[in-house]
C-alpha cells in the first residue's frame, strides 16, 4: 500500500522534487537563524519576476556566490565582484539584483546592530509567535497584512534603510 501524500499547498508542483521538498521541509517552518533569514532575503529578491522553482534550482550556486549567505562577507563585495557574479551561470545573472543583494547585506547588518539580531527584528511584528492563517483558497490571501505594513514602515524610517536620507 502506498504511503499517503502529505497535504500540500496548491502552488506546489508535485512532479518537481525540489518544490516538494522545499514545501514539505521549509515552507512555513519558523526560523530563528540570522544566516537563514539572510539566505531567504537573497533568494526571494532574486525571484522577483521569476518562478520560485528557477531560484531553487540555482540555490547551490547562490550558496557559493554569496559565501554561504554570510551577510558580513557579502556586504564587502566590490563593484568588480558584482560584475564577476553577473557572469555566473549558477545564479540569476541580473546585475541589479546582485547589487541589491549587496545593499541588502549592508542593511541586514545595520538591522542586526540596531536590534541585536535580524531575527529579533522580524519576530517583533508577531510578538515572537508564528502566525497561523487558515486560508481556504489563494484568492483569500491578502497582498499585505498589518504586520507586513508595519515592517515596511520600520525599514523605510529606520537608519538601516540605504534609501533613507
52-64 pLDDT, tens digit per residue, is 999 999 999 999 9
Residue 12 neighbours by CB under 8 Å, 6+ apart: 19, 20, 23
Overall number of domains in the chain: 1
Residue 140 covered by a domain: no
Q: Rounded mean pLDDT of the chain?
A: 88
Q: Specify if 20 maps to a domain.
A: no
Task: Spot the catalytic one: 11, 21, 26, 44.
Answer: 44
pTM assigned to the model: 0.84
Which one of 39, 52, 77, 121 is the catalytic residue? 52
In terms of residue numbers, what domain contains 72?
33-128
Q: Is 77 known to be catalytic?
A: no
* CATH classification at residue 84: 1.10.340.30
27 part of the active site: no
pLDDT higher than threshold 80 for residue 156:
no
**Has residue 13 been placed in a domain?**
no
Look at residue 48 in the predicted model and tell me its pLDDT: 93
- Tell whether 77 is covered by a domain: yes
- N-to-C CA span, the chain: 63
Answer whether residue 16 is part of any domain.
no
Q: Please, which pLDDT band fits residue 159 given cuts at 50, 70 and 90? A: very low
Characterize 30-39 residue by residue with b for buried, 16 or more Cβ atoms within 10 angstroms of its Cβ, and e for exposed. Answer: eeeebeebbb
Confirm whether 123 is a catalytic residue: no
Catalytic residue of the set 22, 27, 115, 123:
22
| 41 pLDDT more than 60 | yes
In a domain, 117, yes or no: yes
Amino acid at each position: 500500500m502506498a504511503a499517503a501524500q502529505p497535504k500540500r499547498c496548491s502552488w506546489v508542483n508535485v512532479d518537481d522534487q525540489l518544490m516538494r521538498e522545499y514545501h514539505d521541509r521549509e515552507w512555513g517552518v519558523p526560523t530563528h537563524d540570522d544566516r537563514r533569514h539572510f539566505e531567504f532575503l537573497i533568494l526571494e529578491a532574486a525571484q522577483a519576476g521569476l518562478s520560485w522553482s528557477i531560484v531553487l534550482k540555482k540555490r547551490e550556486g547562490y550558496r557559493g556566490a554569496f559565501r554561504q549567505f554570510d551577510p558580513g562577507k557579502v556586504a564587502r563585495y566590490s563593484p568588480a565582484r558584482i560584475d564577476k557574479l553577473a557572469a555566473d551561470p549558477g545564479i540569476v545573472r541580473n546585475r541589479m539584483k546582485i547589487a541589491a543583494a549587496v545593499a541588502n547585506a549592508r542593511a541586514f547588518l545595520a538591522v542586526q546592530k540596531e536590534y541585536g539580531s535580524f531575527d529579533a527584528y522580524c519576530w517583533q511584528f508577531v510578538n515572537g509567535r508564528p502566525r497561523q492563517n487558515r486560508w481556504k483558497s489563494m484568492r483569500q490571501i491578502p497582498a499585505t497584512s498589518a504586520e507586513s505594513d508595519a515592517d515596511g514602515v520600520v525599514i523605510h524610517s529606520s537608519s538601516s534603510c540605504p534609501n533613507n536620507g
